[in-house]
Amino acid sequence: MTTPAPLPVADLARLHDELLDWFDRTARDLPWRRNASPWAVMVSEFMLQQTPVSRVLPVYEAWVDRWPTPAALAAEPTGEAVRAWGRLGYPRRALRLHAAATAMVDRHGGEVPSSLDDLLALPGVGDYTAAAVSSFAFGGREAVLDTNVRRVFARVVRGEQFPPAAVTSAERELATVLLPVRDAHRWAAATMELGAVVCTARSPRCDACPVADLCRWRAAGYPAYDRPARRGQAWHGTDRQCRGQLMAVLRDAPGPVPKSALDAVWADALQRERALDGLVADGLVEPLPDDTYSLPS
């Protein structure tokens, strides 16, 4: 028994046509779209997790110039991946991308696999990344659900300001039902683009939306989000900020860093030690016998 369409068939067809036409006319010129090789797509997806495009672009360009293949990255120490990650944040992503590259060399001849199951078996690759790589690199018919896509579907189809805090089975079912029979990879990119540049979280530009007349949230008068408050992530004074300061010292140093240099960048000794211990536990920092620290070798 098939799931009924969440919009009338005619409206669903219009949603597909108008959004895809809009995307063809207005899509941003992004390097991972110009060069949609599987490796380029995978690198971009790792970097774009919780990070805006503007911050990713310079790091991405330098990364793929230096490491144009999984084998090129796998041949380097993990510390070099962490160093090249720079200030993108969440540097464990660099470790996971390096581990994924190593696994691709070991299991797939240095190529990004096209099978969804093989992608999911790579270190650091979850449901979203596997679906995105399958869709954007191989034209797979997958439901690609990032924050932007989820917000678009919540507003246009469900009539809600925001999606739930975590992806639900109902969202996955809805996203699958919405997939067009053809051009599913373009649909995934188009819905992502709409959420990123028009149907934004704080200031949606409904006047520029190609599917505004189909949007149930707009038709309902923009009802406010009625679930528990959505909390933004604090930064100033947090362990995350402390970790970032410590990592900056290690990235910028040509070699091992004495403990005193790390102590100098954060005044709260207890918080600093907790953050440093966490970085060591995460494999991002390597303690050396002479009371110095370095990026992993």
Is the same domain home to 58 and 20?
Answer: no
Return the amino acid letter for 150.
R
- Residues with Cβ within 8 Å of residue 55, at least 6 apart in sequence: 87, 88
Is the same domain home to 209 and 87?
Answer: no
Is the same domain home to 131 and 41?
Answer: yes
Predicted confidence (pLDDT) per residue in 237-278, tens digit: 899 999 999 999 999 999 999 999 999 999 999 999 999 999
Within a 10 A sphere around the Cβ of 115, how many other Cβ atoms?
13
In sequence order, what DSSP letters do the residues of 72-97 get, joined into one string?
HHHTS-HHHHHHHHTTSS-THHHHHH
Which residue is catalytic, options 45, 160, 171, 193? 45
Active site includes 18? no
User: What range defines the domain where residue 288 resides?
Assistant: 239-294
- The overall average pLDDT reported for the chain is 93
d(CA 258, CA 237): 23
- Assess contact for 120 and 127: CB atoms under 8 A: yes
Number of domains in the chain: 3
Q: Classify residue 68 by burial, with Cβ atoms within 10 Å: 0-12, 13-18, 19+.
A: middle
pLDDT, residue 7, reads 81
List the single range of 5-19, 221-235, 260-274 with lowest mean pLDDT. Answer: 221-235
Query: Is residue 230 in a domain?
Result: no
